[in-house]
Amino acid sequence: MATKTYIQAIAEATIEEMERDKSVFTMGEDLRHSVYGATAGLVERFGEDRVLDTPLSENGFFGAALGASLCGMRPIVETVTSFLWVGMDQLISQAAKMRYMFGGQAELPVTFRVRMFYARGASAHHSDRNYPVFMNTPGLKIICPSNAYDAKGLMKTAVRDNDVCLLFEDGIAISSRTEVPDNADLPNGELLVPFGVANIVQPGSDVTIVGIAGGVQHAIDAAKVLEAEGVSAEIIDPRTLVPLDTETILKSVAKTGRLVVVDPAHKMCSAGSEIAAIVAQEGFWDLQAPIQVVASEQINVPYSPALEPLIYPTPEKVVSAIRTVLG
Ligand X SMILES: Cc1ncc(C[n+]2csc(CCOP(=O)(O)OP(=O)(O)O)c2C)c(N)n1
Quick one: CA torsion of 84, 87, 92, 94, rounded to 10 degrees?
A: -140
* Cα 92 to Cα 134: distance, rounded to the nearest angstrom: 8
- Nearest 5°: phi and psi at 79? -155, -165
125 is catalytic: no
Per-residue binder mask for other proteins (CB under 8 A), 214-233, x = binder: --------------------
E-strand ranges in the chain read 3-5, 24-28, 51-53, 74-80, 111-116, 141-143, 165-170, 177-179, 199-202, 207-211, 233-237, 240-242, 259-266, 292-296
Q: Is 120 in the site for other proteins (CB under 8 A)?
A: yes
Considering the complex, what minimum distance in angstroms separates the CB of residue 296 from other proteins?
Answer: 11
Considering the complex, what minimum distance in angstroms separates the CB of residue 98 from ligand X?
Answer: 23
Q: Is 170 in the site for ligand X (CB under 6 A)?
A: no
Which residue number has the CB closest to ligand X? 83
Q: Is 306 in the site for other proteins (CB under 8 A)?
A: yes
Exactly one of 104, 138, 305, 327 binds other proteins (CB under 8 A); which one? 305
Q: Is 35 in the site for other proteins (CB under 8 A)?
A: yes
* Interacting positions 52-81 with other proteins (CB under 8 A): 53-60
Q: Is 86 in the site for ligand X (CB under 6 A)?
A: yes
Q: Spot the catalytic one: 33, 125, 126, 218.
A: 126
Q: How far is CA 27 from CA 5, 37, 129, in A?
A: 22, 14, 22
Residue 73, CB-side half-sphere exposure with 13 Å CA sphere:
14
* Cα 257 to Cα 218: distance, rounded to the nearest angstrom: 21
Which residues are 170's β-sheet partners? 116
* Cα 92 to Cα 112: distance, rounded to the nearest angstrom: 13
Per-residue binder mask for ligand X (CB under 6 A), 42-61, x = binder: --------------x-x---
End-to-end CA distance of the chain: 42
Q: Is 263 in the site for ligand X (CB under 6 A)?
A: no
Considering the complex, what minimum distance in angstroms separates the CB of residue 83 from other proteins?
Answer: 7
Please answer whether residues 114 and 167 qualify as being in contact, where contact means their C-beta atoms are separated by less than 8 angstroms: yes
Q: Is 130 in the site for other proteins (CB under 8 A)?
A: no
Q: Catalytic residue positions?
A: 126
Binding positions for other proteins, rule: CB under 8 A: 29-30, 32-33, 35, 37, 53-60, 82-83, 85-86, 120-126, 297, 299-300, 302-307, 310-311
Binding positions for ligand X, rule: CB under 6 A: 29, 56, 58, 83, 86
